[in-house]
Structure 1
Amino acid sequence: MLICTTCGTRNEDDEHFCAECGAYLAWEGERVEDRAAEEPAAPVVVTPTVGSPTVATPTTPVAEPPPATPTAHRPTVTTPVPEGAPQPATTRSRAEALLARPVDPPTAQPRHDGPAPVLPGARAPKPRTVRPAPVDEPPRNPGDQVCGQCGAGNVATRKFCRRCGESLADAPVVLRRSWRERVLTRRPRELAAGARPRVRRRPFRARWVVVPAVLVLLVGGVWTQRERLSDLYDTVVDRAVGNGPVNPAQVVASSEAEGRGAAAAMDGATNQSWAPAQPGEGVGEFLEMRFDEPFRLAYVRVFSGASTQQPEFLAQGRPEEVALTLLSADGTQTTEQLRLADAVGGQEFPVGADDVVAARLTVLSAYPVPEGASVSLGEVEFLGRP
């Protein structure tokens, strides 16, 4: 941890400039480290001696000498010496004369780990700053500020770049990546210690092939299914806006019974019906409707029988199958068979034909017809749009 001596801000070891004031931490920073407490040195006692320099002696307890071993007392024999003769030297005096005076051993000085004393007027050496080993540049996260001078990433709370000390007042901010970038971008795989990354001579990007392939498949699928898709589109539009009634300009029939002409099938009343001139099943008889303008025919609604009332409905014949033939503006004819249920009410059939200018309903078969009765069609309606 580095503490800026200018403003007191705490900075990480890998930061070169203060986050608050921008000071260069190599000069203005002070490193804080945990040191083990050193053992205190023994106190020193100074014993002054007259006529000798003062020597500091540590007050280390000295072991007391062992007590003298008692010896057996021997009587001392004294030999008389003549007067005027030199006194004989004793054993102690001879030993002191032969031996030199012992010199006191040097006193061990206490060890000091602090700096040595500085001479007056000498310039103190500048303490050496130990920079940490360079570390890998951390990845930029969304919201980090990018230095415009050196490109280093800085957290949003910094005011100056941690690498070069440049002001971050106008620094751009790292934006959050979109989900497309996060999904399509391949993250580098972290390798184990001692592993060597594999070198690709020709880098292959899957999206360069996958995206065009998907587009080609989509275009090809749409092209091959264009008719079905067009029909599906027309069907959806028909259900939404293709249910308006379209009235023919002219109605004709192959034959008509008295009082039951072809116009009765297009008058909007279900209690009046068309019937052919000859009684019976009426196979081959038809109704033909012609229109002034081409239109798209979406649905055909048919009311089978002579009426919507059950007694009158059962008294007359009812067609079972009819053929719907459509004529388009370009002269094309299409035919579709419709099977009618033997029930009262309208029955609706989807058609989906374009540019219709004429339509014909031909009786193909009928349900059992009472004796003397004829096949009847109560009403025919055309629903479509221009």
Structure 2
Amino acid sequence: MVIYAECGHQGPADVEFCGECGRYLKWDDDGPVAVKSPPVVQQQVVQPAEPIAPVRQPVQQTVEEQVLNPGDLICGRCGKGNAPTRNFCSRCGASLAESQVVKTSWWRRLFGRKPKEHKAGARPGKDGVRRRTGRAGAARRTVGKVIRRAVAVALIFSALIYALYQPFRSAINTAAVGLWSQVTGIFEAKLNPVHPIKVTATAQTNGHSAPLVTDNAKNTFWAAPGDREQVLVFTFDHPADLRKAIVYSGDAANFPAAHRPQKLHLVFSTGKTYDMALADTPDPQEVPIEHSEGATSVELHVTGLYRSLDGTDVAISEIELFEAG
């Protein structure tokens, strides 16, 4: 853009007439004076900042804890428990005609104590006077706490002895097995004694042969050297289903004089096996037998011993076997 000298208007430099007044611009020798047009300042449009949404803190809602008693009516709309006498929910006002009823636990039905009902005008307690049970109740609670602690200490001590002292563990196992056999024997078929037709052993001492272990006499016994594993072999005249054995360990007349069997490993003619754990006692021990169905013979391997301080032989006074009838 230029300023025309003739009229002072502004316009393009390459025209012959002013666009404002129409004056001819080529009369004078002086050319138009060029002027710089002021720079156009572009205004920056400032975008308004987006408003920051306030951070909402989570509202901690307290959950109403309700205790449901047997017979309460549970509202089907809000789940509120209501007394059995209500027809509408105490929280939302919904009808309780088809609400679910809280049932009484089976153990409460069997052992629960029913509340005592008093006649109209009668007062609870003896002769209408309640007994003060504050001190008595505290004393009972103290005694109960002492008894519970004593029982807990006794159980822990017994468990330690059972884990660390092997003879005590064997005696407990034998007693438990015997008790279990007595309990299950009530519901099982009657057991019949079975007598082997032949008894042999890998070794025996003079006067204490293998057949003496099944002669039904407690004053005789089988004996063999205890420096190696000994085996007794019982042979039957029919396939037997052995269920129980009664074992008399050692020499009944002089129990500490010989080694006693601690463990018997039974190998049946069918190929199956079973282990019997025995206690170190002269009393008869009832031990169950399993996996013997159809066996015509059984090998009794003496795989563990209770050592004697006096003798060197292992001895068994008697072994009685019983089969399912």
Question: What TM-score, normalized by structure 2, do the two folds share?
Answer: 0.41
Question: What TM-score, normalized by structure 1, do the two folds share?
Answer: 0.35
Larger CA Rg, structure 1 vs 2: 1
